């Protein structure tokens, strides 16, 4: 089946620093990837849609200058949390769509970010 | 507001009990429906999906779900749960009216199965 990986699986950083999270589709090419945020005991909230070779589309309320998304290749999308604050601490999950016409997504294992 | 609603936030069952988790959505038009499971410490896995055809969908691990269009529902069922079914279950919907086929998730139902 389609496999999506994320790196790192967890990261601790200090306030004010930036953190990059990678999302890779291991055995398929993904023209579209999605970034979600999951707070404890809550559901997944879509942050942005990442399209290969073009700018990401951010959901309302998500600061695009704070959460930088780059989808430079068909197998890699990165999310950079800039100038991180403790309130950015969360579980970040990416997913990839198998094909442009597919409604199905495959999820990565998530990255737990803790900002101290 | 348009949404995906899961009625039960926490469910506790004994092994061999039957399970039904409710899911209702409020998006009109053609929709695609999913149930995902997240085991403790693991990533989301697809349990089953409905795109079209037979409204009774069978998934992995003995789960099934029934799409009832008139009720905007897609309830998840399993006749006999096992301890290993302890997990969080998410209903999700996408379609033209979710905003360009974005997938919208329900709040999740945390299931605990007592051995």
Task: Sort out which chain B residues have CB atoms less than 8 A from A95's CB and list them.
Answer: 44
Please, are residues B20 and B73 in contact by the beta-carbon 8 Å criterion? Answer: no
Q: Which of residues 8-27 of A touch B (CB under 8 A)?
A: none
pLDDT in tens, A24-48: 999 888 888 999 999 877 788 999 9
Contact call for B46 and A104, based on CB within 8 A? yes
Q: What is the 3-state secondary structure (H, E, C) of chain A?
A: CCCEEEECCEEEECCCCCEEEEEEECCCCCCEEEEEEECCCCCEEEEEEEECCCCCEECCCCCCCCEEEEEEECCEEEEEECCCCHHHCEEEEEEEECCCCCCCEEECCCEEEEEC
The whole-angstrom distance between A48's CA and the closest CA on chain B is 10
Contact call for B44 and A103, based on CB within 8 A? no
Asked if A109 is an interface residue toward chain B (Cβ–Cβ < 8 A), one would say yes
Asked if B103 is an interface residue toward chain A (Cβ–Cβ < 8 A), one would say yes
pLDDT of residue A101: 63
The whole-angstrom distance between A8's CA and the closest CA on chain B is 14
Please, are residues A54 and A38 in contact by the beta-carbon 8 Å criterion? Answer: no
Longest Cα pair distance anywhere in chain B, in angstroms?
A: 43
Q: What is the pLDDT along chain B (115 residues), one digit of tens a residue?
A: 668 999 889 999 999 999 999 999 998 888 899 999 999 878 888 999 999 999 999 999 999 999 999 999 999 999 999 999 999 999 999 887 777 678 889 999 999 999 8
Contact call for A43 and B101, based on CB within 8 A? no
Q: How far apart are CA B47 and CA B61, in angstroms?
A: 8
Contact call for A93 and B43, based on CB within 8 A? yes
Asked if the model's pLDDT at residue A100 lies above 90, the reply is no
pLDDT in tens, A16-26: 999 999 999 99
Asked if A91 is an interface residue toward chain B (Cβ–Cβ < 8 A), one would say no
Q: Give the mean pLDDT of A38-60.
A: 87
Of B43, B51, B94, nearest to A109 by CB-CB distance is B43
Return the bridge partners of A67, or none. A81
């Amino acid at each position: 089946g389609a496999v999506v990986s994320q790196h790192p699986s967890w990261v601790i950083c200090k306030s004010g620093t930036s953190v990059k999270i990678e999302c890779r589709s291991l055995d398929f090419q993904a023209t579209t990837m999605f970034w979600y945020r999951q707070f404890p005991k809550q559901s997944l909230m879509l942050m942005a849609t990442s399209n290969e070779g073009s700018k990401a589309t951010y959901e309302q309320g998500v600061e695009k200058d704070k959460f930088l998304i780059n989808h430079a290749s068909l197998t890699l999308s990165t999310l950079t949390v800039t100038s991180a604050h403790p309130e950015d601490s969360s579980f970040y999950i990416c997913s990839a769509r198998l094909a442009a016409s597919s409604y199905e997504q495959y999820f990565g294992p998530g990255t737990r970010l803790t900002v101290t | 507001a348009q949404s995906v609603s899961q009625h039960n936030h926490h469910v506790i069952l004994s092994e061999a009990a039957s399970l039904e988790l409710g899911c209702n959505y409020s998006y009109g038009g053609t929709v695609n429906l999913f149930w995902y499971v997240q085991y403790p410490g693991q990533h989301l896995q697809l349990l089953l999906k409905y795109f079209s055809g037979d409204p009774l969908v069978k998934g992995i691990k003995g789960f099934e779900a029934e799409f009832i269009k008139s009720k905007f529902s897609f309830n998840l069922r399993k006749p006999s749960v096992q301890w290993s079914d302890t997990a969080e279950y998410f209903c999700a919907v996408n379609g033209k009216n979710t905003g360009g086929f974005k997938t919208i998730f329900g709040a999740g139902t945390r299931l605990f199965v007592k051995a």
